[in-house]
Chains A and B, each alone.
Chain A
Amino acid sequence: MTASVAAPLILSFVVNYEPRTVALRSADRTLLSVLRDDLGLTGTKEGCGIGVCGACTVIVDGEMVSSCIQLAALVDGSHVRTIEGLGSPDGLDPVQRAFVEHGGLQCGVCTPGQVMAARALLDACPRPTIEQVREWMTGNLCRCTGYYKIVESVLAAAARDGASG
């Protein structure tokens, strides 16, 4: 049985507080592909394509989601936050600032996902313990840093302003 789409699916959702409408070419489009290819939001990265590395992490209705395995059609009506929605034109989010100041990144490809995961953590738990940070961030792979400075960055962001964002 194959699903054929007679008319294009229209996806209506909110991205970083802006309503967006996208005509999906097919029903199997991922949220990652829509964000990057249709909306030009290339800050969200693809690392593995199977939802295990966390590079494509976005926040959908307050929950962390791997956008590379999220069917775009299923976020209709949702509010999606991407890395482009963090901070303001003249200032970084406290999480972003902490990653900059504490060396929580090197090549930067996993960084948007790390930052979004950390943001989701601090939104849910403004003062996490180091064990909570380690557990929460386990789904975000990094091949450059060895993670130590990422954990330090998240803890520093929490100490500075765990509730903002």
Chain B
Amino acid sequence: MTLASNRVTRETERSVIGKRIPRPDAPAKTRGTAQYVADIQRTGLLHASVLRSPYPHARIRSLDITAALALQGVKAVVTADDTPGRSWGAFRKDQPVLASDKVRYVGEEVAAVAAVDVETAREAVLLIEVDWEELSAVLSIDEALADGAALVHDDAPGNITYHFGLERGDVDAGFARSDVVVEGTWESARQFHAAIETIGSVAEWDLNDRLTIWTNTQTPFLSRGRYAWALGVAERDVRIIQTEVGGGFGGKSGDDNNPVVCALLARKAGRAVQLINTREEEFLAGSRPRMPMRYWVRLGVDRDGHVQAKDIKVLADNGAYTGKSIAVMGAASVRPDTLYRYPAVRADSTLVYTNLVPTGAFRGFGSPSADWAVEQAWDMAADELGMDVVELLRMNAVESGDVSLHNHRITSCELKQCIDKAAELIGWHHKRAQRTPNRGLGIACSVHVSGRRSFGDYDGSSAMLRLNEDGRATIISGEGEIGQGAGTVLRQIAAEELGIPFEDVDVTPSDTQLATHALGALASRVTYVAGNAVLRAARAARQQLLEAAAVQLETAVSDLEVRDGRVMVRGAPGAFGGGVLVGEVARKRLYQRGGGPILGVGEWDNPSDFPDESRYGNESGAYNFMAEAVEVEVDPETGNVQVLELAAAVDCGTVLNPTLAEGQVEGAVAQGLGLAQSETFAWSDGRPQNPNFGDYKLPTVGDMPIIHLAFAESYEPSGPFGAKGVGEIAVDGVPAAIANAVHDAVGVRITELPITAEKVYRAMREREAQR
């Protein structure tokens, strides 16, 4: 058996776009010289540790920091008294920085210490005395919704954070028209991002009370606003500098307290402070894990297979604080409807507070939990119809030009091509014709946005592009790099548009003081949205360059072009000695009376609409699609499921860099496999039982199946060189595809993640008993 990834990726004819260009940050990363937040040194840097709640729900009767402060080497201790006492959060301001009266989950921040080294800080944390009064806690959705349940927040009666419902089209009439109606309830899992680098910060205040935070955030500008609010200082007095980000996946998008606590300590100590989450802290209270949902679906189709109606009811576990959970549940409730041609849908979705770790944004943003349910319902419908599910999905798949019930306008869609390619690559038709005992095939599809209008009526980006007198170009963008390769792709776009070599383009790290406003790396938006801004900045810079060259060469702008780093006469590459170096033109433009630099500015806003309260509105300017098919073998004795092969076919428009795009799909598939088969948080009385990499099982290289990977021939008219987002989508379909394959293999349907051998075994025994 081989591991090799069988990839069908086309390279384009352009000079930079579509090429397998190695990432410029790779040499430093392989040498260990890339600077992550834990690597930062500052003069007099202090190190910090946090006192966290050991209880899922408790009142703080009193807190005594005397002994901690007295420990030699301790420079500052902060408690709620050092905060402005206001709660914060992206969509609902319910999270304190440091708990004052009560704690709401195990791991919640209560106090923090800065000391000369981290060992001293940890020792001091142990010396803080808290008089706790343990309160009755709600540790599941059911407990939270029970009559008389303890309240997580006094202002959320019934522990309901948020509720919304919608109906578009006539759902009851749709079911009345249906010949086959299937339904079921699915439970998804609390999956952790488990980036190999934990969240961390270095904070320092200057003598003018201005704060700088170096942190591994995915979203420097959005984080700045939230942290300033939480600290009670003006946004203009906070500067966020993004360090290298050691993996994000949504978990570093500015919902956690780490940078805020670090800043409080730095202010109190009057020195720079570094606070790096331990691995255990990262599980307890760092990245906000995937939101578990109980997802009920009813799906109706006519006897030919055409879908007539869908109805869903969602209960989602918010944990103790909200962050972006409202948006995650919203996405899970409506986004799947942009996959098939539903004439009528209904949703009723409730977000529930519990005394568990807050949940939030994780690659897929709700879709993995939704697809886990809906894509299995489609498989059940195919079974009932006696129709091949590939044929059923194909028949109902959306196409370019479609508008969904939520007014999602689909400008480019190759979903059918994805279904066909995934089926072909897995050998669907011949394997279904010649069946092997205990082996089965399953397929699932998904759709994702390319940016989403979420934080007000703007999902744009802007960039500046300096074309320097030394011949190099610098992209100034605040979007940042989180490991996915955004910096490489933005350089490629600029180089292609400018006509200069890729190696001559740099991109700045995100710094809120230097770059223009950027929403950052979320919602699969950077390639599409920031790429369009960089494209326009490069275009503007090229125009300035050509105008300068036209003056210098005494010719017309329209006669000139830029190729291989030179300004040349169109159609006469030999003229002017083979053209003039770009840097020479820039230098001459600068060094003259009244001269100046070449600086292009580009801005672009996602052509999307801000959805209304019922989530009606075209949330993104472009949608990406995919289909994933798997073959599994189920051990009839143990229930163990082995994924033999997986085929992923993705429509992300033009593939700008095949190596990077493949990396996004392969990495997302691995996270999907973990979600499907091994990753889940275990609890006992509200206390996490496996907050470490020994007991929380991430996939290893040994767990990876043979993968077949293809990108659809696709072109998005609004995308930079035809590109759409690709970062998230491939995680979505893996769990449902595996469950469908297990059903195909041994006839049992697994409805709760992860799909463990024990669950499959029990389901097989139950099925035997019923016979």
Contact = CB atoms under 8 A, between A and B. Distances in A.
Contacts of B700: 138-139, 141, 147
A72 interface: no
Interface string A39-79: 01111111111101101000000000000000000000000
A143 B247 contact: yes
Interface stretch (B101-109, B665-673, B738-746): B665-673
Tell me what chain A mostly uses at the interface: helix, strand, loop, or mixed.
loop
Given A52-B694, A92-B30, A107 B670 contact: no
Given A96-B30, A134-B702, A141-B693, A106 B196 contact: no
A105 B693 contact: no
Interface residues of B, number: 60
A4 to B, nearest CB: 15
Nearest to A109: B246
Nearest to A114: B30
Given A48-B694, A149-B666, A106 B194 contact: no
Contacts of A82: 32
B27 A42 contact: no
25 contacts: A45-B32, A47-B693, A55-B196, A82-B32, A83-B31, A100-B22, A100-B23, A101-B22, A103-B663, A106-B247, A106-B484, A106-B485, A108-B25, A108-B246, A109-B247, A141-B698, A145-B670, A146-B666, A146-B670, A147-B700, A147-B704, A148-B4, A148-B5, A149-B659, A152-B5
A97 to B, nearest CB: 8
A155 to B, nearest CB: 9
A110 interface: yes
A52 B693 contact: yes
Nearest to B670: A146
A123 B277 CA distance: 35
A110 B701 contact: no
A86 B669 CA distance: 31
B26 A143 contact: no
A99 B700 CA distance: 18
B459 interface: no
Contacts of A134: 3, 701-702
B225 interface: no
Interface stretch (B34-42, B264-272, B494-502): B34-42
* Most interface-central of B26, B193, B707 (chain A CB within 10 A): B26
* Most interface-central of B20, B660, B698 (chain A CB within 10 A): B698
Contacts of A130: 2-4
Contact of B279 (A49, A109, A111): A49
Contacts of A44: 32
A15 interface: no
A46 B255 CA distance: 23
Contacts of A25: 119
A150 interface: yes
Contact of A96 (B31, B278, B662): B31
Contacts of A34: none
Contacts of A109: 36, 195-197, 246-247
A48 B279 contact: yes
A18 interface: no
A147 B660 contact: no
Contacts of B483: 106-108, 144
B247 A86 contact: no
Given A48-B694, A109-B247, A141-B693, A103 B23 contact: yes
A103 B662 contact: yes
Contacts of A148: 3-5, 662, 666, 704, 707
A115 interface: yes
Interface in B623-671: 659-660, 662-663, 666-671
Contact of B31 (A84, A149, A150): A84
B29 interface: yes
B622 interface: no
Interface in A91-149: 92, 95-96, 99-103, 105-112, 115, 130-131, 134-135, 137-149
A100 B692 contact: no
A151 interface: yes
Given A107-B483, A144-B247, A147-B670, A49 B278 contact: yes
A87 interface: yes
Contacts, number: 186
B249 interface: yes
B244 A108 contact: yes
Q: How large is the interface on A (under 10, 10 to 19, 20 to 34, 35 or more residues)?
A: 35 or more
B669 A42 contact: no
A106 B249 CA distance: 12
Contact of A43 (B26, B31, B482): B31
Interface string B176-208: 000000000000000001111100000000000
A107 B278 contact: no
B33 interface: yes
B694 A50 contact: yes
B17 interface: no
Contacts of A140: 701
A95 to B, nearest CB: 8
A135 B32 contact: no
B113 interface: no
B704 A107 contact: no
A108 B670 contact: no
Nearest to A154: B701
Contacts of B41: 40
B309 interface: no
A143 B248 CA distance: 10
**List of 6 A-B pairs having minimum Cβ-Cβ separation, nearest first:** A43-B32, A107-B483, A108-B29, A109-B246, A146-B666, A146-B670
Contacts of B698: 141, 143
A86 B31 CA distance: 7
Contacts of A137: 701
Given A49-B278, A102-B659, A147-B704, 16 more contacts: A42-B32, A43-B31, A43-B32, A44-B32, A82-B32, A100-B22, A100-B30, A106-B484, A109-B196, A111-B29, A138-B700, A139-B700, A142-B196, A143-B671, A144-B663, A145-B666
A46 B484 CA distance: 21
Given A106-B485, A147-B3, A148-B704, A87 B31 contact: yes
A99 B26 contact: yes
B20 to A, nearest CB: 8
A28 to B, nearest CB: 9
A83 B698 CA distance: 24
Contact of A144 (B4, B117, B662, B667): B667
B316 interface: no
Contacts of B29: 105, 108, 111
A90 to B, nearest CB: 11
Contacts of B505: none
B30 A99 contact: yes
A105 B196 contact: no
Contacts of A110: 196
A103 B659 contact: yes
B529 interface: no
B697 to A, nearest CB: 10
B126 to A, nearest CB: 15
A81 B38 CA distance: 21
Contact of B663 (A41, A83, A108, A145): A145
B691 to A, nearest CB: 11
Contact of B482 (A49, A50, A99, A107): A107
A40 B35 CA distance: 12
B734 to A, nearest CB: 11
Interface in B93-142: 117, 119
A130 B28 CA distance: 27
B245 A107 contact: yes
A141 to B, nearest CB: 6
Given A144-B247, A148-B704, A47 B3 contact: no
* Most interface-central of B38, B194, B700 (chain A CB within 10 A): B700
Contacts of A143: 193-196, 247, 249, 667, 670-671, 698
